[in-house]
Amino acid sequence: MRRRRLSTVLRTAAAVLLTMLFLFPIYWLFMISFKTAEEIFAFPPKWWPSRIGLDSYAVLFKDGDATTVANSLVIAGASTLIAMFLGTLAAYSLARWRTGGEHLANWIISQRMVPPIAVVFPIFLLYVFLGWVDTRVGLILLYTAFNLPYVIWMMRGYILDIPRALEEAALVDGLTPWQVLWQVVLPMSRAGLFATAIFTFVFAWNEFIFALVLTRTEVTTYTVQVTHYFGGQSNFWAKISAMSVLGTLPIFIVVGFLQKYLVRGISMGAVKG
């Protein structure tokens, strides 16, 4: 019992140390949103601002910059949902029946080997032709396409981890394959779904090059908006920082609420076998 307790204490201490290390740059960035210009460039560096004021944030809302966060949320969110849905379906097919064999799976992952810079201009041409430049639909479709390979391969891995016995039993019980997917496989792979979804969202959220080229004024995303603050003769650090906080907050909250599924998924591992 004591060994258990010591182990827990040590683990907690390690967790705290680790979190502090990883969070330090976040802390530094976060503090900038409260610092004055002199404090940001103070010598020696200042570790905390003299006052906590929400002016930088207020300015973002007043000037309308904050709407770019909303744009990003919509685009990244929609493309994540679509990619997760289509991708998990495809992953199931690939995992259980090796549909399309090696060739299909390899072709899918090869899409992620294409350097973005190289295809930015042809996609821009395509979008000009389709009239999708500066539209939400255009970016959503693009990000969905980009993330499908990731979702398919990740979910295939997670599904392969689930013993087939459960599904076979369900089929014997009379469920249709579709029902087996929804009622047996997906709940079992919840942890994997969650982990995959987070990063699918993150990839779409942080994407820059395509958002830069394929938008002009209507659908500016948050990543592009942040680069507006880095000028040759100016540097809006407070805005950069406040914008990043605003940008990180939604997904952080979502992760905060949903990570219990991840954790539950972990302890559910004990149920098997």
Partner 1 sequence: MIQAFCGRMAAAFTRALVPALAILSMAFSAPALAQSAAQRAVDAAKKICSGKTITIVWEAGLQSLDPLNFSGPKWEQLTGCKIKVVEVPTAEMFTKIMQEFRAGTGAYDALNVIPAWMPDLVQAGALENLESYVDKYSYRAELQTIAPTYRDNQMTVNGKIYGFPDDGDVFILYYRKDIFARPELQKAFKAKFNDELAPPKTWKQFDDIGAFLTEALKGEGIYGASFFREPPYTMFMFQERFRVEGGKFFDAGTMKATVNSPVGVKVLTEMRNENRFMPPGVEKFGFVENLAVFLDGKSAMTISWPPYGRFAAGYLADEKALSWVPKSKIANKVGYALPPGGHPELAAGFALSVASTSKQKEQAYLFIQWLNSEEISLQRVQLPYTLRDPFRNSHYVSQEYMARWPDAKDYLAALGEGAKTGLLDLSLIQTDKYEEAIRQGISKLWAGDDPKTILDDIARQWDEITQRVGLDKQKAVYNSWAAKSGAYPK
Partner 2 sequence: MTPVPVPRQGRRHRDRVFRLALVAPSIVVLLLVGVFPLVYLIVVSFQNLTMSDTDTSFQGLLNYRLVLTDARLWQSLLHTLIFIAVALPTELVLGLAMAQLFIERIPGRAVFIALLVLPVLVSPIVAGATWALMFDNRFGPINQILGWFAGEPVSLLWTIKPSLVYAAILIAEVWQWTPFMFLLLLAALSAVDKSQLEAAAIDGASWWRTFRQIVLPAIWPVMAVAILIRALDLFRLFDIVWALTKGGPGTMTETISMFTYVKGFQQFETSYVAAVSLLIIVLLSTVVLWTLKRVELSR
- Is the CB of 41 or the CB of 63 nearer to partner 2? 41
Asked if 239 interacts with partner 1 (CB under 8 A), we say: yes
| Residue 267 interacts with partner 1 (CB under 8 A): yes or no | no
CB of 94 to partner 1, least distance (A): 37
Which of the choices partner 2, partner 1, none does residue 92 contact, using the CB cut-off of 5 to 8 A by kind?
partner 2
Helix count (H) and strand count (E) of the chain? Answer: 14, 0
256 touches partner 2 by CB under 8 A: yes
Q: How far apart are the first and last CA of the chain?
A: 26
Indicate whether 178 belongs to the interface with partner 1 (CB under 8 A): no
Q: Kindly tell me which of 47 and 182 has the beta carbon lying closer to partner 1.
A: 47
Q: Supply 132's token pair.
A: 């999708």
Is residue 17 at the binding interface for partner 2, with CB under 8 A as the rule? no
Q: How would DSSP label each residue in 23-79?
A: HHHHHHHHHHTTS-HHHHT-SSPPSS-SS---HHHHHHHHHTTTHHHHHHHHHHHHH
Contact positions with partner 1 (CB under 8 A) in 106-135? 121, 124-125, 128, 133
Q: Candidates 49-57, 63-71, 115-123 — which segment interacts with partner 2 by CB under 8 A?
A: 115-123
Q: What is the C-alpha to C-alpha distance for residues 170 and 165, in angstroms, rounded to an integer?
A: 9
Which of 219, 202, 185 lies closest to 80, judged by CA?
A: 202
**Residues in CB range of 52: below 8 A, 6 or more apart:** 34
> Among residues 79 and 220, whose Cβ is nearest to partner 1?
220
List of residues contacting partner 1 (CB under 8 A): 36-38, 40-41, 43, 55, 59, 121, 124-125, 128, 133, 212-213, 216-217, 224, 227-239
